[in-house]
Structure 1
């Protein structure tokens, strides 16, 4: 697949210190969950008194983030970067993250898209990130030796499995290395953040820098640990400026260094040297209370299809959905969007509702009662249909009765052609 847009990397103030006073960024706090537990991290919500990663005053849905983004740009047109940096990890919240990125790209095609992740679960989404046009990704790597890493992380969660100790560090490091290689293979600029923790990994930064150079990383950001009293490392001192200067000078033998990092909040907005997070706090709060967009105003329709001509896949068997839109005259396919993974019971349908959250309807050959109810409650009309895609789209967009589209429901007589992975 080919990227849809080429970005001007020089307008990203975090990657280019020379423009930190000209261009700004907005962090969209749509990712509250995290899949690892770092011993220095304390994620807080509704916190207005701290300025550090993992903190936000509100959490937004993708739809709310779209409204907030528009309001930010109206008041601060110097914003050139839209990023997701928590307050958890973007890919512990993949539906919200990908939905937000798709929406920002559609509504603001010239915006630089940026993500900051621990790297644990980003791998499966990298190809789509490249297609959307996400040009900058930051991966936080605090150890490249599991013996060091086991001291940094309390646990690492992979699906329903929780790893601890050295095994947790090994799993995370493996995923991080794979992710960085894949990001570079897709021509995405990669910055690595390394949190410098006294007596834990401060002696290990050179090894990290060496390994990241081998992987083709573009920029290294050594960040002094912020002591959080409610964490296992809360008793450790924050590395002083002299120590950090020495570490960065050493690491610069291997990779260019970021020396102007402001350790941004998950809801940061403005220029790096002219932060406006406080000014936009009431706007952020107001957007977090917005109700979901009415179904008739959602721009897309999702379609379950095998070959792109007919509506011929059951909701439960579709591994991806075609996403369509109309300009009032003709219909246009926007993209192929991955479905939620099979298994997981009812959770799968809630995930799918988030994935299709910008769709007014989903056209499929059949759907079970449970997923139909969940889709409907999320404002997505499940339409059982057979025949040509364009006819189904016409009926939905023109608000006509959808019963006319309905073919024989294969679930009703036991002849379902699904894979047995759960139609609902």
Structure 2
């Protein structure tokens, strides 16, 4: 039986060495030793997430706290969010699945235990996974995600198993705020509620964070942005966790659709808009390196971020394989070749960006402008139907759009916007029945604030509706590196005079 293999993407993607040369080095602020440890980690490196794959194994069903934004679901294939899994695995099943996936997907670099409950509320199952993998697959990075309640008591065990990447979800450092997020915790054999519960949780999280960083373990902090609850408070969270040694902060939006059955969803709590999320991320970025490429993955996610392939690796398929078919030893050699090729390419791209030249068209536009007053070239948000670092998706086939900001200083990644498929196939795309119209309207709403959408192809129907909504479709840069394509379009806009507005009226995001 043959499992699917994804193609080696080491030959494409990113800002080409002969292209714009303006995208910033996403890891440039990090010391060399930390940079080396995260450059192939798709959840910790913005660059790596286009190229390297990750895998989560669902071995930890129990949880010791209740969050108002969480509803764990088992045997569920229809939702993509934390706490959701299709199959709960035993440690032995998880090991077999990891080895099979690592053989089938050479880009895989990371194995994480992230739920569906809390890994440290299931310590025996969690650490058995790490014990076996550290022996059988030493080339795979090991990661753990936790709410932090029991973190201090397991820091030594984490270090013993060479788990050098830990994510802690920290939504507050003020117990009064925490009481609005956490109804209860289970602590020392009793259920604690309210402000006292939040105080205990915060103390344990902060203590665990300090203990991890003292041992040289890299810590990423996740925070859920909840409008009206912790939206202003998260700036303080960012300052505190940075001071205690966390190197990356991931502020992610609350998922609050009522159909998920969470307390917030049922109570009508609003999720943040894309503009609110970006504004807070930018505000926190003054104190902390920000992660903007998070996909809020399922607890059994497999593959490159934004392209979950977990359904292809169910246990019934894996159980049909023999050890010879998995052949992990041969796969490890192949994986090293693929990983080395990707790292070499990323190094070349960083070197090409080290001294960014002024984009030629932008320089010419600036030279031709009147000496006084000189208009400012405003930044522009562009949505990209991208895959593996290139403009590769048909508009109607995109399940998400990557959002980039282009400006005279370069191109930076802002985040992603999830959407539904507009059409089932190229031959039917653009026919515009009622269902398609509804999905298209939702997609256009999701792209609010963007002035351009780049894709490989697009039908007449969505083209016209995008233009009517003030979003310019562009299919002229198919299969080009995303940053190059975005800068090329920005230069065209600058050359046409669309950006030189001394007091630009920004489209409401």
Counterpart-to-counterpart distance in 2, 1:200 and 1:231: 16
Counterpart-to-counterpart distance in 1, 2:230 and 2:316: 38
- Say whether 1:130 aligns with 2:159: yes
Q: Deviations over 1:253-286 (max 9, x none)?
A: 1100000001100000001143312322xx2456
- Say whether 1:63 aligns with 2:125: no
**Counterparts in 2 of 1:285 and 1:122: CA distance versus 1, 3 Å:** farther
> Shift in Å at residue 71 of structure 1?
1.1
Counterpart-to-counterpart distance in 2, 1:245 and 1:33: 33
Paired residues of 1:209 and 1:220 also in contact (CA < 8 A): yes
Report what 2:394 is aligned to: none
Counterpart-to-counterpart distance in 1, 2:320 and 2:149: 31
**Residue of structure 2 aligned with 1:231, choices 262, 265, 271:** 262
Counterpart-to-counterpart distance in 1, 2:104 and 2:151: 32
Paired residues of 2:56 and 2:114 also in contact (CA < 8 A): yes
- Say whether 1:197 aligns with 2:226: yes
**Residue of structure 2 aligned with 1:157, choices 163, 186, 199:** 186
**SS of the residue 1:246 aligns to:** helix
> Shift in Å at residue 7 of structure 1?
7.8
**Counterparts in 2 of 1:287 and 1:150: CA distance versus 1, 3 Å:** farther
**Residue of structure 1 aligned with 2:215, choices 186, 195, 201:** 186
**Residue of structure 2 aligned with 1:90, choices 115, 119, 126:** 119
**Counterparts in 2 of 1:102 and 1:148: CA distance versus 1, 3 Å:** same
Deviates more, 1:266-275 or 1:162-171: 266-275
Which protein is richer in helix relative to its size?
Answer: 2
Report what 1:246 is aligned to: 279
Report what 1:219 is aligned to: 248
TM-score normalised per structure 1: 0.65
**Residue of structure 1 aligned with 2:137, choices 86, 95, 108:** 108
Counterpart-to-counterpart distance in 1, 2:114 and 2:183: 21
**SS of the residue 1:8 aligns to:** helix
**Counterparts in 2 of 1:137 and 1:285: CA distance versus 1, 3 Å:** farther
Count of residues paired in the alignment: 283
Counterpart-to-counterpart distance in 2, 1:135 and 1:30: 20
Paired residues of 2:100 and 2:318 also in contact (CA < 8 A): no
- Say whether 1:268 aligns with 2:301: yes
Paired residues of 2:155 and 2:211 also in contact (CA < 8 A): yes
- Say whether 1:208 aligns with 2:237: yes
Counterpart-to-counterpart distance in 1, 2:189 and 2:312: 40
Structure 1 portions without partners, runs of 5+: 1-5, 291-424
**SS of the residue 2:255 aligns to:** coil
- Say whether 1:172 aligns with 2:214: no
> Shift in Å at residue 231 of structure 1?
2.4
- Say whether 1:45 aligns with 2:78: no
Paired residues of 1:39 and 1:152 also in contact (CA < 8 A): yes
Counterpart-to-counterpart distance in 2, 1:173 and 1:288: 42
> Shift in Å at residue 15 of structure 1?
0.7
Report what 2:83 is aligned to: 54
Report what 2:288 is aligned to: 255
> Shift in Å at residue 17 of structure 1?
0.9
**Residue of structure 2 aligned with 1:279, choices 306, 309, 312:** 312
Q: Deviations over 1:319-344 (max 9, x none)?
A: xxxxxxxxxxxxxxxxxxxxxxxxxx
Counterpart-to-counterpart distance in 2, 1:273 and 1:141: 24
Structure 2 portions without partners, runs of 5+: 1-34, 322-509
Report what 1:139 is aligned to: 168
Higher RCO, 1 vs 2 (CA within 8 Å, ≥6 residues apart): 2
Counterpart-to-counterpart distance in 1, 2:182 and 2:311: 32
Counterpart-to-counterpart distance in 2, 1:289 and 1:124: 39
**Counterparts in 2 of 1:288 and 1:182: CA distance versus 1, 3 Å:** farther
Report what 1:313 is aligned to: none
